[in-house]
């Protein structure tokens, strides 16, 4: 499933996500991954995953670029720094945001990816 299709599932399922940066929504998603500690994410996040986190800063964007993460999903309506959004535009990193808690969001993504 690609990012665009996933976002459509959330829209039609009644828990729409907010699009923060659309770089390439045709990118495929391999799986879902959760963690907020950046070097754990670096070491463990599978390539092309959807990464659910509350860390909306510049360094999350850098980690996504370098670890080949497909999509950053900011959960819990956590704030995202403006310089992180600017960096995501520059580096072409996909970011969406949800008010759902990390676990709920991750299980939903997992459900759609496996269906």
Ligand X SMILES: Nc1ncnc2c1ncn2[C@@H]1O[C@H](COP(=O)(O)OP(=O)(O)OP(=O)(O)O)[C@@H](O)[C@H]1O
The contact set with another protein (CB under 8 A) reads: 36-40, 42-43, 47, 55, 57-60, 62-63, 65-68, 83, 87, 91
Identified binder of ligand X from the candidate list 14, 39, 114, 115, rule CB under 6 A: 39
- Decide: is 36 part of the binding site for ligand X (CB under 6 A): no
* Rounded Cα–Cα distance for residues 19 and 29 (Å): 16
CB-wise, 10 or 56, nearer to another protein? Answer: 56
Residue with Cβ nearer ligand X (38 or 62): 38
Closest CA to 110 of 44, 24, 46: 46
Backbone angles phi, psi at 66, to 5 degrees: -80, -30
First and final CA of the chain: distance in angstroms? 9
When CB distances to ligand X are compared, the closest residue is 39
State in angstroms the smallest separation of the CB of 33 from ligand X.
17
Bridge partners, 46 (sequence order): none
Residue (of 66, 40, 17) closest to 55 by Cα position: 40
Residue 3 binding: pick among ligand X, another protein, none (C-beta 5-8 Å cut-off by kind): none
Q: Which residues bind ligand X (CB under 6 A)?
A: 38-39
């Amino acid at each position: 499933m690609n990012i665009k299709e996933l976002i459509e599932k959330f829209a039609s399922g009644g828990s729409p996500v907010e699009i923060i940066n659309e770089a390439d929504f045709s990118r495929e998603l391999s799986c879902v991954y959760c963690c907020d500690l950046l070097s754990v994410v670096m070491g463990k996040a599978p390539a092309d995953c959807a990464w659910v986190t509350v860390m909306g800063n510049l360094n999350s964007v850098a980690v996504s670029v370098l670890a080949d993460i497909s999509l950053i999903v900011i959960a819990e309506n956590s704030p995202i720094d403006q310089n992180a959004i600017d960096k995501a535009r520059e580096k072409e990193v996909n970011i969406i945001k949800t008010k759902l808690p990390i676990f709920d969001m991750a299980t939903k993504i997992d459900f759609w990816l496996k269906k």
